[in-house]
Amino acid sequence: MGEGSNDPRTNPGLAARNRRTAIVLALVAVSVYVIFFLGYAL
């Protein structure tokens, strides 16, 4: 719920925000995998 339209097709700022959210969450998921797999491996 931000400024302007909530449609990323017409609101580039929202599209960028969606991408940033996705990247952060993907990094969290990868980190958990690394901790549990490489953590035991090393």
Partner 1 sequence: MSEAVMHGHEHHDHHPTGWKRWLFTTNHKDIGTLYMLFSLVMFFVGGAMAMVIRAELLHPGLQYVDTQFFNSMTTLHALVMIFGVVMPGTVGFANWLIPMMIGAPDMALPRMNNWSFWILPFAFTLLLVTLFVPGGGPAGGWTMYPPLMLQTGDAMPFVIFAVHFLGASSIMGSINIIATIFNMRAPGMSFMRLPLFVWTWLITSFLLIATIPVLAGAVTMLLTDKYFGTSFFNAAGGGDPVLFQHVFWFFGHPEVYILILPAFGIVSQILPTFSRKPLFGYESMVYATASIAFLSFFVWAHHMFTVGMPLAGELFFMYATMSIAVPTGVKVFNWVSTMWRGSLTFETPMLFAISFVVLFSIGGFSGLMLGITPADFQYHDTYFVVAHFHYVLVTGAIFAMMAGVYYWLPKWTGHMYDETLGQWHFWLSTISVNVLFFPQHFLGLAGMPRRIPDYAVQFAEWNFISSIGGFVFGLSQLLFLYIIVKCIRGGEKATDRVWEGAHGLEWTLSSPPPYHTFVTPPQVTDATAHS
Residues at the contact surface with partner 1, assessed by CB under 8 A = 1-2, 5-9, 14, 17-19, 21-22, 25-26, 28-30, 32-33, 35-37, 40-41
The least CB distance from residue 37 to partner 1, in Å, is 4
H helices then E strands: how many in the chain?
1, 0
The least CB distance from residue 27 to partner 1, in Å, is 10
Burial per residue of 11-31, b for 16 or more beta-carbon CB atoms within 10 angstroms, e otherwise: beebeeeeeeeeeeeeeeeee
The least CB distance from residue 33 to partner 1, in Å, is 4
